[in-house]
Amino acid sequence: MKMAYKYCRQRLNFHSLSFVFIILSIFGLVTSVISTDVNAQSAHAAVIKLDGGIQPSSAKFVERALITASDDGAAIAVIMLDTPGGLFDSTRKIVNVLMESRIPAIVYVSPSGARAASAGTFILAGGHIAAMAPGTNVGAASPVGVNEDLPPTLGSKAKQDAAAFLRSIAEERNRNSEALAATVTDAKSYSALEAMELNVIDVVSNDLSALLNEINGRSVKLSSGPHVLETSDLEVREISMTVVEMFIKVLSNPNIVFFLLALGGLCLLIEFLTPGLIGPGVLGVICLALAFVGLGNLPVNWIGLGLLGLAILLVGVELQAPGVTVFGIAGLVAFLSGALLLFGGFVLDPTEEPMFQVSTMVVFGVTATSGGLLLLVVQIIRRAQRTARMAGEQGISTMKDLIGERGVVTNALLPSGTVRIAGQEWTAVSISGDNIQNGETVAVVDADGLTLRVTQQKSNQ
């Protein structure tokens, strides 16, 4: 009886503890969810870092970040800007996103040494509050050509369009439209203090904390109407790029795009010349797919891209008929020209630091390497053709004709190497996987493409 009572008591205690544990777990989970929701919805300053060239990926990031900040209950969004320029279409989209933002968007050129050059001028002007740190600059927003100067008529139209857009932004934000338009028409550039004096910006602040205190109580105009900023003592939370966004940003580098195009074309060429390898073909398709993702974020010159495709075709013809050389030389010329002309059009990009070009060092380095590989492959093919011709003279029309023949190892099979059969050197591999040393006798049991499969012959065989 006592044992039964003790057992029931233990069972009761166990169930009681389990019940308490479950209740506490549910309470903790609910509390966590509630606190997380409250924390997410509490007023804060969402910080969005926008640096590097302005591209389609930049515009998508800013749009997503502003929506996220608004959904999370941010009181304001602060775009920390540092850019040398970028694409005009992407810049226009970012400005439109700023204009339609549901929460105040403060654009802050920071830290000291940063700049809002070219495209950055439009983005800075589009903020509800435009701010700069000491030692920063804004301006030089004239459209320029990639790889070439814009024709006079096109250049004039591009400038007038960009200047008119900047004036409309300035008028909407009650800023100095003429001073801002001069950054386009006359390529003017201003320091932080000059921009402040000219009413190009609203605030000069040393850091983010000082900026939040400085703009507290100011009134801005949202699409929903006037709004008074309450920014003192706001918690700061950064909205970072996702892994996918960062990956696309890396792929949008002109040098990486060019390298992927060259590698992808080479791999597909190898697969075409030696069908069945599969590996080069798969790698080539992947490289080209990634390259086209990058091309979607860059100003592509389709003539340059077409020349790269023509280069691959000419090299393929050369490898089909090695020794003609004219196709190989023409292919290298087309490859070099295509690389130099791969990107084109006009951008908002300082002429002294072009962003949307393949580095000349990369162009000539890849071209020289490709030329060397082409020469090596041509020599290998021509040597194989001579070997096949001499084998034909000895009655060997195909590699299968060598099955049953005996030869001597001239370069140790580890397990692959070379053997001498019928007076010629052949690539061979040991079918057993064992190493066969120089001077050993082997017999051909099969042929796989241009490679013989051999087995070692004992002295008494």
| Residues 114, 54 share a domain | yes
| Residues 412, 354 share a domain | no
| Residues 231, 130 share a domain | yes
> What is the number of other CB atoms lying within 10 angstroms of the CB of residue 127?
26
Q: In the structure encoding, which two tokens stand for residue 183, read together? A: 């950054």
User: Which amino acid is located at 337 in the chain?
Assistant: S
Q: What is the mean pLDDT of residues 36-40?
A: 44
| Residues 409, 381 share a domain | no
In degrees to the nearest 10, what's the CA dihedral of 120, 125, 130, 132?
40
* Number of domains making up the chain: 3
Of 37-41, 235-239, 409-413, 420-424, minimum mean pLDDT range: 37-41
Is residue 1 over pLDDT 50? no
Of 385, 409, 438, the residue at which a domain comes to its end is: 385
The pLDDT value recorded for residue 149 is: 52
| Residues 321, 404 share a domain | no
pLDDT in tens, 260-284: 988 888 888 777 776 666 788 899 8
Q: What is the mean pLDDT of residues 108-126?
A: 93
> What is the number of other CB atoms lying within 10 angstroms of the CB of residue 314?
20
The pLDDT value recorded for residue 339 is: 86
Do 374 and 265 contact (CB within 8 A), yes or no? no
The pLDDT value recorded for residue 275 is: 66
Provide the CATH number for the domain around residue 165: 3.90.226.10
Task: Establish if 56 belongs to a structural domain.
Answer: yes
Of 385, 412, 432, the residue at which a domain comes to its end is: 385
In the three-class reduction of DSSP (H, G, I as helix; E, B as strand; rest coil), residue 388 is classed as helix
Give the pLDDT band of residue 448 (cuts 50, 70, 90). Answer: confident
Task: Establish if 6 belongs to a structural domain.
Answer: no
Nearest partner of 438 among 409, 458, 414, 400, judged by Cα: 409
pLDDT in tens, 208-252: 999 999 999 999 988 888 899 988 888 999 999 999 999 998 898
Rounded percentage of the chain residues whose pLDDT exceeds 70: 76
Is residue 379 over pLDDT 80? no
Task: Establish if 7 belongs to a structural domain.
Answer: no
Give the pLDDT band of residue 110 (cuts 50, 70, 90). Answer: very high
| Residues 263, 238 share a domain | no
| Residues 133, 81 share a domain | yes
Is residue 109 over pLDDT 90? yes
Do 420 and 397 contact (CB within 8 A), yes or no? no
| Residues 173, 47 share a domain | yes
| Residues 415, 359 share a domain | no
Q: Range of 77's domain? A: 33-243
pLDDT in tens, 351-362: 555 677 788 888
| Residues 239, 347 share a domain | no
Compute the distance between CA of residue 355 and CA of residue 108 in angstroms, rounded to an integer. Answer: 22
Compute the distance between CA of residue 291 and CA of residue 289 in angstroms, rounded to an integer. Answer: 5
